[in-house]
Amino acid sequence: MSHALRTAGLTKTWGRFTANEDVTLALPVGARHALIGPNGAGKTTLVNLLAGVLLPTRGDVFLGETRITKLTQHERVKRGLARTFQVNNLFPGLTARESVTLAVCERTGTAWNGWRRWERCRAEREEADGLLAAMGLADVATIETRHLAYGRQRLLEIALALATKPRVLLLDEPAAGVPKAESETVLSAIAALPADVTILFIEHDMDLVFRFAQRITVLVGGRILMEGTPAQVAADPRVREVYLGEAVHA
């Protein structure tokens, strides 16, 4: 099986504190894979290791067959690994179209800026408009980001990640802070992403996890407790005890 993203013995420590220990994952191309666990389980630390925000104490990260363990965030993005954040990191004064066009220009090296006239960015603007339409944002393309509803801002963040044309997309709680009605829109947009884009996501809403994920990894105390299908995870007594509780039924 061809793997889009995998880790081998990934470990991160700070002094005597271990955030992740011996984490080994293997995501095939096109996977929809969820990472769940109680608060403090090390989920965001793991995503930061994958994205290059942090370097591991031990272990390796591979994008396809390429070892990327020591590459910077920027280098990983260039190779096809993109991510979103638990708290979005957008440009409040730019419109949605301007933000995504800028991301496209960064990828293509056309460097749209104050010295390059907006009218000359036609191809980049057309690509940006396509991404906004795919995320259901065409009707707010010319609105400044600061004025968008929070659910729309989460969708804009995904559009920005997609502007890099990722092979692998890491989503850190894409529905965090989004009203229930809007979270459905966010997850529907993610579900509609191209089948060859591999997705690893952290999410606390178990209804969304069980509906969207094909496989789930449960992280507890920085280590993998188990991995399986949604049905297997929901039925596992260890997972019920440490995380899901009896409210979740297989």
| Cα distance between residue 1 and residue 7, in whole Å | 15
Please give the model's pTM, rounded to 2 decimal places. Answer: 0.86
Q: Which domains does the chain have, with CATH numbers?
A: 3-89+165-244 (3.40.50.300)
Give me the pLDDT at residue 11, please: 98
Task: Quickly list H helices, the chain.
Answer: 43-51, 73-78, 96-108, 122-134, 150-162, 180-191, 206-212, 230-235, 237-239
Cα–Cα separations (whole angstroms), residue 87 to 43, 69, 225: 15, 25, 27
| Mean pLDDT of the 71-92 span | 85
* C-beta pairs of 113-119 under 8 Å, 24+ apart in sequence: none
| The token pair that represents 84 in the structure block | 């979103």
Mean pLDDT (the chain, rounded): 88
Is residue 198 within a helix (H) or strand (E), and if so which, with residue range? strand 198-202
pLDDT digits (tens, 9 = 90+) for 147-170: 998 888 988 998 998 999 999 999
Q: Residue 16: which residues within 8 A CB-CB, separation 6 or more?
A: none
Give me the pLDDT at residue 246, please: 44
| Mean pLDDT of the 40-55 span | 95
**Is the predicted pLDDT of residue 228 greater than 50, yes or no?**
yes
pLDDT digits (tens, 9 = 90+) for 156-206: 998 998 999 999 999 988 877 777 777 777 888 888 888 999 999 998 888
Q: Among 191, 194, 195, 193, which Cα is nearest to 203's?
A: 191
Give me the pLDDT at residue 7, please: 97
Higher pLDDT, 163 or 250: 163
